[in-house]
Amino acid sequence: QPGQGPGAAVAPLSAGPWSLLHLHLDLRVSFAAAGAGRLQGRARLELRCERDGAGGAELRLDAHPALAVSRAALLPPPGGPGDAAGQTLPVESRPFASYGSALHITLPQAPRAGQLLTLVIDYEAGEGPGVCWLSPEQTAGKQKPYMYTQGQAVLNRSFFPCFDTPSVKFTYSATVKVPEGFTAVMSATSWEKQKDNTFVFKMSQPIPSYLIALVVGDIVSADVGPRSRVWAEPCLIEAAKKEYDGVIEEFLVVGEKLFGPYVWGRYDILFMPPSFPFGGMENPCLTFVTPCLLAGDRSLADVIIHEISHSWFGNLVTNASWGEFWLNEGFTMYAQRRISTEVYGLPYTCLEAATGRALLRQHMDATGEDHPLNKLRVVIEPGINPDDTYNETPYEKGYCFVSYLAHLVGNQSKFDAFLQAYVNRFKFQSITADDTLGFFLEYFPELKEKGVDSIPGFEFDRWLNTPGWPPYLPDLSPGQQLMRPAEELAELWAADSLNMEAIEAVDIMGWRTYQLVYFLDQILQKSPLPEGNVKRLSKMYPKISKAQNAELRLRWCQIVLKNNLEAEYSKVKDFLHSQGKQKYTLPLYRAMWGGSEAARALAMETFSATAPQLHVNVQNYVKKILGLAEA
Ligand code: BES
Ligand code: ZN
């Protein structure tokens, strides 16, 4: 698959002629001056050559200019003769793309099919995008430094040398030595603390490189279920436990009922520092989440259900290339909403799905429907960073396509059974949409016979390869009972002269968070409202304008900016100071930059104050919005 690194460039479904049987990481983490640190590592790759002669005597791995390699060596076969320190090999780092480099290692001779090779690489990870070092001020507790890694999509090549493509799966293990007073956790099946502050991890199922993740910090844990605990800094652990105590297991049980066994053993959740750039990241056994989820009322559990759903879609059945990211995210959105329907009911789930559809609408309005990224199968040219293609399409158009497949089947339990069979068929593999759709037609031969893949206007090929609004939208009308009152109230607030009697007759105090979110999306769509209305709205609903819930704060800030309500600019600033999630940060900078002079000034002022605490990728995207970066 071109454009995703040397490992991928050679052949899509393997690491060139190699398969990686196991990766072992020997890591030593230390914290230096404020905000910096050191990660010294040795990676041991246990490789098997699959094809004679292919690739010559050279092995190429994905790496990063920030990864300083001091030595590569070939270890003698276990138990055999030879120097235990191994035979040093020539190694050279060559430029590859803006997001990484290629490590060329010369082997003594071209390997033969079936040959096993153990390679060790000594390195130090510097200031790369995959390894994030936080100063004490950037943590919740403000006492101790913190480090975390974020691999998806192509960042782990700056954490360890590897085949950094989702098409290669392998088991891994690690030992991590940390300073006194720190704890290490990883996305692994087992976790053990040994003497000398050394932690030992083992992931016993094959996973792609992007799912390896590490945190070293002042963190503690609390049980919230029979196979689940929450991890957080000590000052957040009570809140974390309260938010999720006794609720995770139900999500897992429903997921298992729908999609088959949960194969990962534990399901733990780690609450990250506020600058974590995502709502959640599905690192196996240990989901990483933004602390914004600590809303106090469990209202943002959909993110947890989403990450749990990746346990089947993404982590078990994985997209073979980032151009088919919808296989991960579209199926996960569908699975998330299936679990949500079972747990919270159809009306609520349709309401949540409607807010998702609004995000897709906003995205397509902003880019134009015909934008090449608005198709499910994206062409990622060589050298293009897959992260730069990130948008709502794989999530919400992907959700529509999976819903369309369910609609073709016409029976929910039959479609659920198909999903379970699909997971079972492709578990521990990396696949393309052709595999998925081929299996669908094979599983439902009567649909294949009817030619459902080529119904005019709804051709599978059109779904995959044509940009634009989804040709089929699932029916969200069961959510009407929750959506209608919000739509009507938004209408009232958009009027030129406000009918306060009608407005005051609506009591929003009992509304759930997503109902308020939906209401605010409606207001945003109708904005700018007639002069004075938003000010009045703000005063009338402190539950909204003074909300602590991040989803509400985001919408309120967007409304403030679209209506140029300078009196509440400070809320935008405070929100951007309080967290660094990409999906909150970028829309607000886009809105500020597209607004008044005062809004632009607010953007500049806020960015110069908060830039150091943002993830480097998010920093760069904001710079682009503000015209501060080279093209
Ligand atoms: N896997 C993604 C996060 C991700 C995507 C990280 C691409 C890096 C590159 C995760 O599962 C996700 O989609 N998170 C969403 C949650 C939401 C859809 C419920 C998020 O962070 O907003
Ligand atoms: Zn996801």
What integer best gives the mean pLDDT of the chain? 95
Exactly one of 243, 307, 324, 352 is catalytic; name it. Answer: 307
* Separation of CA 331 and ligand 2 centre (Å): 9
Mean pLDDT of 371-381: 96
* The pLDDT of residue 277: 97
pLDDT in tens, 543-564: 999 999 999 999 999 999 999 9
Q: What local confidence, expressed as pLDDT, does residue 321 receive?
A: 97
Atom of ligand 1 nearest to the CA of 277: 21
- What phi and psi, each to the nearest 5 degrees, are found at residue 476? -105, 15
Calpha distance 606→598 (Å, rounded): 12
Q: What pLDDT sits at residue 145?
A: 95
Smallest-distance ligand from the CA of 279: 1
pLDDT tens string 611-630? 999 999 999 999 999 999 86
What pairs with residue 94 in β-bridges?
Answer: 102
Residue 3 has pLDDT above 80, yes or no: no
CA 72 to ligand 2 centroid distance, Å = 35
Nearest atom (ligand 1) to Cα of 282:
11
Residue 9 has pLDDT above 60, yes or no: no
Other Cβ atoms within 10 Å of 365 Cβ, number: 10
Three-class secondary structure assignment of 417-484: HHHHHHHHHHCCEEECHHHHHHHHHHHCHHHHHHCHHHCCCCCHHHHHHCCCCCCCCCCCHHHHHHHH
- pLDDT value of residue 358: 95
Least confident range of 29-38, 218-227, 330-339, 550-559: 29-38
395 catalytically annotated: yes
Active-site residue, from 172, 395, 569, 621 = 395
Check if the beta carbon of residue 357 is closer than 8 Å to that of residue 403: no
Q: Which runs of consecutive H residues, i.e. helices, occur in 167-295?
A: 237-244, 248-259
Q: Residues at the annotated binding site?
A: 150-152, 277-282, 306, 310, 329, 581-583
Gap from CA of 470 to ligand 2 centroid (Å): 19
Q: Are 203 and 197 in contact (CB under 8 A)?
A: no
Substitution candidate for ligand 1 out of 302, 306, 315, 380 with most atoms within 8 A of CB: 306
pLDDT digits (tens, 9 = 90+) for 214-267: 999 999 999 999 999 999 999 999 999 999 999 999 999 999 999 999 999 999
Distance 583 CA to ligand 2 centre (A): 13
Provide mean pLDDT across the span 286-315.
Answer: 98
First and final C-alpha spacing in the chain: 25
Question: With bands split at pLDDT 50, 70 and 90, how would you rate the model's confidence at 56?
Answer: confident
Distance between Cα 328 and ligand 2 center (Å): 7
Share of the chain above pLDDT 90, in %: 93
- Which residues hold their Cβ within 5 A of ligand 2, which is an ion? 329, 332
Residue 373: helix, strand or coil by DSSP? helix
Amino acid at 41: G
The one-letter code for the residue type at 155 is L
Binding site for Zn(2+), residues?
Answer: 306, 310, 329
- Ligand 1 atom showing the smallest separation from residue 210 Cα: 8
With a pLDDT cut of 70, the percent of the chain lying above it is 97
Closest Cα to atom 17 of ligand 1: 303
When pLDDT is averaged across residues 111-115 and rounded to a whole number, the result is 92
Q: From the CA of 153, give the closest atom in ligand 1.
A: 9
**Protein residues whose CB sits closer than 6 Å to any atom of ligand 1:** 152-153, 278-282, 302-303, 306-307, 310, 329, 387, 390, 395, 583
pLDDT of residue 34: 62
For strand 100-106 and strand 58-63, is the pairing parallel, antiparallel, or unpaired? antiparallel
Q: Report d(CA 197, CA 178) in Å as an integer.
A: 6
- Ligand closest in space to the Cα of 153: 1
Given pLDDT bands bounded at 50, 70 and 90, which one contains residue 14?
Answer: very low
Indicate the Cα dihedral angle 33, 35, 38, 43, nearest 10°.
Answer: 170
